[in-house]
Amino acid sequence: MSEIVTVGIAGSGTMGAGIAIVAARAGFRTLVYDTRQDALDRARKQTDGFFGKSVERKKLTQSEVDAMLAALTGTTRIDDMAGCDIVIEAVFENLQVKHDLLGRLDQVCPAHTLFASNTSTLAITEIAAGSGRPERFVGMHFCLPAQLMKLVEMSPGIRTSAETFERAWAFCKALGQVPVKTKDSPGFILNYFLVPFNNDAIRMVEAGVATPADIDRAIKTGLGYAMGPLELLDLVGLDTHLLVAEALYASTHEPRAAVPALVRRMIAAGHLGRKTGQGFYTYQGNTMFGA
């Protein structure tokens, strides 16, 4: 069983940047690939800010952070991913986009490289079918924000080999994360419950039952959640939530998974959440969730 030394992350959005922090913090050489340099630059700025807060709060020393940042690099050249022992795909929830990316990665990565997907709703078996290496493909759904939350849902596809799953499971533990095994079923565990729940919260706003702040305050105070559903949606992004909810609804036909009309209106207005400065709340600056 070959050792995982170098980790590749394909996609430098909120999830990709968070997973990269997890990998670099655990001592892995980490390479983040994105087609856009401005996206990589934004992710690096957010990463620097996150680690800076970790130093301020005395969770890490400056020398530890310097070593982690030195091990974390970005690239717009997909050929650079050839040196990775595992590549975690973290692009948005569109099967064709994932297949196109994985097909190109399959051409440049050696045979031993494992492929993983951070998908939250799409079928691992279907994504793996376009990877060129379905036996060496596994689902690794990190809980957002990945750099703060320990949970990773590990899902084998139909053709995932036992060795692949064992290697990915061991790697997940080496990251300092907590893996749980799930079947390759719609939404796995978290989003099976979370997407309908978040949609219910949106419908409450839509109906004028309560303000976003009061809904979130009630959920956090009454249920003990660390973050309210509308705060979480702003962090995830309303555009991302739309894709996730549509994928879950297409798989389950669960009425509560159907996207409320308010989501599409907010997207049309450019109110996507933290990344645009306006969602259910207003934000100053584009900052990554703090340490």
Which residue of the set 118, 120, 131, 198 is catalytic?
Answer: 120
Residue 271 backbone dihedrals phi, psi, to 5 degrees: -95, 80
Q: Which amino acid is at 103?
A: G
- In 24-176, which ranges are E strands? 29-33, 72-75, 86-89, 114-117, 137-142, 151-156
CA 28 to chain centre: 18
For the question of residue 120 being annotated catalytic, the response is yes
Q: How many CB atoms lie within 10 A of CB 275?
A: 19
Which residue of the set 93, 141, 231, 241 is catalytic?
Answer: 141
For the question of residue 191 being annotated catalytic, the response is yes
Which residue of the set 89, 93, 153, 231 is catalytic?
Answer: 153
Nearest to 219 by CA among 234, 237, 245, 200: 200
Which residue of the set 118, 191, 198, 199 is catalytic?
Answer: 191
Q: What is d(CA 25, CA 28) in angstroms, rounded to the nearest whole number?
A: 7
For the question of residue 64 being annotated catalytic, the response is no
Nearest to 127 by CA among 162, 151, 103: 103
For the question of residue 253 being annotated catalytic, the response is no
Say if CB 166 and CB 138 are below 8 A apart: no
Q: What is d(CA 154, CA 7) in angstroms, rounded to the nearest whole number?
A: 17
Residues assigned a catalytic role: 120, 141, 153, 191
